[in-house]
């Protein structure tokens, strides 16, 4: 997995987003490339003009370049809606998480070619990227074949900009939080950089040298959350170089700290794996 969190460090003199409604219900018949809950609209937001259109989900922008398929853009929108409103009742499950994402003006950009990410990044916003060709809505039918990496990248946005900011002592990505204390056990120690060799018995052994400590926490949250929700059950051979607790039973038995955290009802984390069919 790549470290994909966008580092928003370049200043713009002006940055105002053109906002649409949060969730966009439509009574019109569904046409190809459209969705009953979300509308694709032209993007006119300053600073992100290389992305020609967008969808707005609970006030969170998802931008796309021309080469991104409508079906993939709408799939990402549905996943984001399901992560934020997992019981699909039309209301975000955790107000604090949503507020944190809005306060940091969270956004997702979808690209076709990596060169699409060569852009001036807007100040005061935190973002995440997702590739068109790593988005696979069809995976959810059988949970086989090319994995839907949109599950990962959309979740990164929610946890990094949402949960980590809403509950910094719990989900914060610096050392000493509830999340990172569990991660340090999973890695066999507290490592600020990738060790040459992980200790025997470690079950989280991510080895991307570009991934610093907070990035490692983001990735750990992804592995644990999606394993708990069942996304990794058929993928052990693919992922065991990074993560081995690929089922809820393994997670509960071998990483009880993170299991307890992710099942704590105080934080209203997802209990059902998003599948891209938000049914508000």
pTM reported for the whole predicted model: 0.89
> Does residue 241 fall inside a structural domain?
yes
pLDDT in tens, 226-241: 999 999 999 999 999 9
pLDDT of residue 47: 84
Question: Domain range holding 192?
Answer: 5-267
> Does residue 97 fall inside a structural domain?
yes
> Does residue 46 fall inside a structural domain?
yes
pLDDT of residue 14: 30
> Does residue 179 fall inside a structural domain?
yes
> Does residue 275 fall inside a structural domain?
no
> Does residue 82 fall inside a structural domain?
yes
With a CB cutoff of 8 Å and minimum separation 6, the contacts of 235 are 147, 246
> Does residue 279 fall inside a structural domain?
no
Domain count, the chain: 1
> Does residue 159 fall inside a structural domain?
yes
Residues of the chain under the 50 pLDDT cut: 2-30
With a CB cutoff of 8 Å and minimum separation 6, the contacts of 154 are 76, 79, 80, 83, 108, 128, 130, 274
pLDDT of residue 22: 41
């Amino acid at each position: 997995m790549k470290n994909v969190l966008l580092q928003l460090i370049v200043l713009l003199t002006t940055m105002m987003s053109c906002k649409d409604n949060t969730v966009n219900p439509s009574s019109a018949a569904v046409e190809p490339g459209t969705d009953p809950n979300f509308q694709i609209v032209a993007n006119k937001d300053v600073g992100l003009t290389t992305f020609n259109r967008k969808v707005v989900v609970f006030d969170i922008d998802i931008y796309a370049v021309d080469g991104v398929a409508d079906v993939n853009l709408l799939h990402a929108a549905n996943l984001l809606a399901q992560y934020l409103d997992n019981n699909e009742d039309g209301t975000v499950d955790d107000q604090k998480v949503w507020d944190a994402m809005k306060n940091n003006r969270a956004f997702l950009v979808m690209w076709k070619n990596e060169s699409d990410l060569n852009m001036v990044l807007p100040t005061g916003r935190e973002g995440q990227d997702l590739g068109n060709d790593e988005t696979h809505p069809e995976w959810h039918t059988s949970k086989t074949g090319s994995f839907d990496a949109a599950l990962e990248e959309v979740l990164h946005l929610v946890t990094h900009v949402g949960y980590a900011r809403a509950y910094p002592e719990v989900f914060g990505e610096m050392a000493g939080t509830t999340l990172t204390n569990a991660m340090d056990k999973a890695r066999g120690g507290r490592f600020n950089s990738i060790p040459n060799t992980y200790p025997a018995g470690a079950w989280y052994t991510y080895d991307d040298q570009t991934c610093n400590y907070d990035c490692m926490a983001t990735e750990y949250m992804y592995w644990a959350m999606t394993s708990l929700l069942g996304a990794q059950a058929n993928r052990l051979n693919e992922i065991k170089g990074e993560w081995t607790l690929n089922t809820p039973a393994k997670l509960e038995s071998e990483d009880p700290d993170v299991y307890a955290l992710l099942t704590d009802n105080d934080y209203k984390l997802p209990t059902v794996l998003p599948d891209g069919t938000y049914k508000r």
